[in-house]
Structure 1
Amino acid sequence: MQVKHLLLIATLAFVTACSSKGDKVDENLSESQLYQQAQEDLSNKSYTNATNKLKALESRYPFGRYAEQAQLELIYANYKNAEPEAARSAAERFIRLHPQHPNVDYAYYMKGMASFDQDRSLMARFLPLDMTKRDPGAARDSFNEFAQLTSRFPNSRYAPDAKARMVYLRNLLAAYDVHVGHYYLKRKAYVAAANRGRYVVENFQETPAVGDGLAIMTEAYQRLGLNELADSSLQTLKLNYPDHPSLKDGQFVPREGDDNSRSWLAKATLGLIDSNTAPPTMETQASKDVMKQYEDARQQIPRELRPENQDDGSEKPDTSGKKSHSWLHYLTFGLVD
């Protein structure tokens, strides 16, 4: 990691630590006063202060008239304050304490939303990261949590949105497995690559990654000399995905080159170091489709549920002819622009 990135992380951590404490809660406030002030903080988008007051309300008046509502509001405040782990913990606690509450479906939904946005951390908004190549743990958690909501409360007002996000998450998980298959191809682990490609085809039907899975199977079987299986996979690919990037004029083009085309340094280090010029990045169709679906899903999130520092793409371009610098440029003294 470059020095400027380390300085950026340190600066952001320092600023976050200085601004995360919030105001001290008056010990003489009544239950209704605490709740009212917490509501005002939520309206003013002072989520840290709202969180402190809601926690104080629950601890001071655990059996009061606002206790259960405060627990629900705490889930929302943590989520809006970009604290997904705290939001998930608050949601799990509410579900455990109030499984029959009329608004428990909201807790299930927000638990899934917290996992859904967990990868959209503060650093992920500034650094170019391909989510289809990242650890899919949070995506799997979010999918399972939305699945619980839709199975337990099929008529919930949150079920349609949860189902739409499950489609996106399923595509994301499939694209991740495609990247794993390509990694095995690059490392000449052809049996593992073929198995991963077959797993995608068998378990992620109706996703954009199925074509990529067939392409991985075709290449892996060709490398293994299993021509019958390779021809079967290739014919299925041509029939269902004639425009797949691996097909050029109806002919299959392997993603990875032959061993003879690699340098001795690449062979000696199992591909970790290659003195040859790196080929252009081949973005899979699944990656393109998943990223597009993510952007579409992100734009459809209700504005009141978006974290405050999430970029919504509404910044206007500078037409003055002068080079404009972002706040990040000034904050890091020009190290990051």
Structure 2
Amino acid sequence: MKKKLLILSLIITFFTACSTKNKDELYNLSPSQWYAQIIKDLQDKDLEKADTHYSGMASEHIADPLLEPILIILAQAHMDEEEYQLAEFYLDEYNKKFGNSKNVDYTRYLKIKAKFEAFAVPNRNQALMLQSQQEIDNFLKEYPNTQYKPLVQTMLTKFNIAVFYLDSTIADLYNRTDRQQSYEIYQEKLQQSEFFERSIITPELPWYRAIFEKF
């Protein structure tokens, strides 16, 4: 919820940057000056200022070529800070302004990577796992010769293992609580998986999280 509010705030800032100036705000800068300021913000580890200054740059120079590297830099900076929804915001902006047949697979790959890195807990985010599986399947069909194919295939394998682990955990829960019909449904799903009866190292939760989250 907090990250959604941050994205909404960024969008509002983008559309009001020209009309709400005070003595502390920067404006009427050249593209290279904006670029240098945003890089300085990132070097100072001040992402909030970098976001604000991007809004100023984008409002004054709608499609300047320097926006292209800045959008990718900001997306990666937010991924590094685990702010994945904001990273996707910048990647969507990049696609709108600079997306073409030569780079669209790269930005699609970065969006998949953002979802992959957002997946941190093995028995949560089932919707995220399923959405990511579908997105990777679509990506591989649309770009069968992409140079990022090995990377997204690795991500897909890890998502598939995570889904298998979650299903096995649910099946175990149903078995332990004598809900036989539900257990058999999940057991059938497990038997159809490529990972059934394979030796898989299951993820371990930290003790302070396992107390509350273990089924």
Task: Point out the structure with the larger helix share.
Answer: 2
Question: What's 1:247 paired with?
Answer: none
Match of 1:100, SS state, is coil
- Separation in 2 of the partners of 1:147 and 1:25? 45
Match of 1:117, SS state, is helix
1:192 aligns with 2:182: yes
Q: Which amino acid aligns with 1:113?
A: K
Match of 1:133, SS state, is coil
Q: Does the 8 Å contact 1:41/1:47 carry over to 2?
A: yes
Work out which of the two has the higher radius of gyration on C-alpha atoms and give 1 or 2: 1
* Runs of 4+ with >6 A deviation: none
Per the TM alignment, residue 84 of structure 1 is displaced from its structure 2 partner at its CA by: 0.9
Q: Does the 8 Å contact 1:184/1:193 carry over to 2?
A: yes
- Separation in 2 of the partners of 1:70 and 1:96? 14
How many residues are paired up? 184
- Separation in 2 of the partners of 1:195 and 1:91? 39
Q: Which amino acid aligns with 1:72?
A: I
Q: Per the alignment, do residues 67 and 177 of structure 1 end up closer, same or farther by CA in structure 2, a change over 3 Å counting?
A: same
Match of 2:122, SS state, is helix
1:138 aligns with 2:128: yes
Correspondence list, 1:97-246, <5 A: 99-120=99-120, 131-202=121-192, 204-205=193-194, 207=195, 210-211=196-197
Q: Which amino acid aligns with 1:29?
A: L
Question: What's 2:203 paired with?
Answer: 291
Q: Does the 8 Å contact 1:181/1:193 carry over to 2?
A: yes
Residues 163-188 of structure 1 show CA distances to partners (whole Å, capped at 9, x for unaligned) of: 11111111001110111111111221
Per the TM alignment, residue 25 of structure 1 is displaced from its structure 2 partner at its CA by: 5.0
Question: What's 1:73 paired with?
Answer: 73
- Can you give the 5+ residue segments of structure 2 that lack an aligned partner in the other structure? 11-23, 205-215
Per the TM alignment, residue 194 of structure 1 is displaced from its structure 2 partner at its CA by: 0.8
Match of 2:118, SS state, is coil
TM-score, L = length of structure 1: 0.48
Q: Does the 8 Å contact 1:109/1:162 carry over to 2?
A: yes
Per the TM alignment, residue 160 of structure 1 is displaced from its structure 2 partner at its CA by: 1.5
Per the TM alignment, residue 26 of structure 1 is displaced from its structure 2 partner at its CA by: 1.5
CA RMSD of aligned residues (A): 2.9
Q: Which amino acid aligns with 2:49?
A: N
1:26 aligns with 2:16: no
- Can you give the 5+ residue segments of structure 1 that lack an aligned partner in the other structure? 1-12, 121-130, 212-240, 242-284, 293-337
Per the TM alignment, residue 40 of structure 1 is displaced from its structure 2 partner at its CA by: 4.0
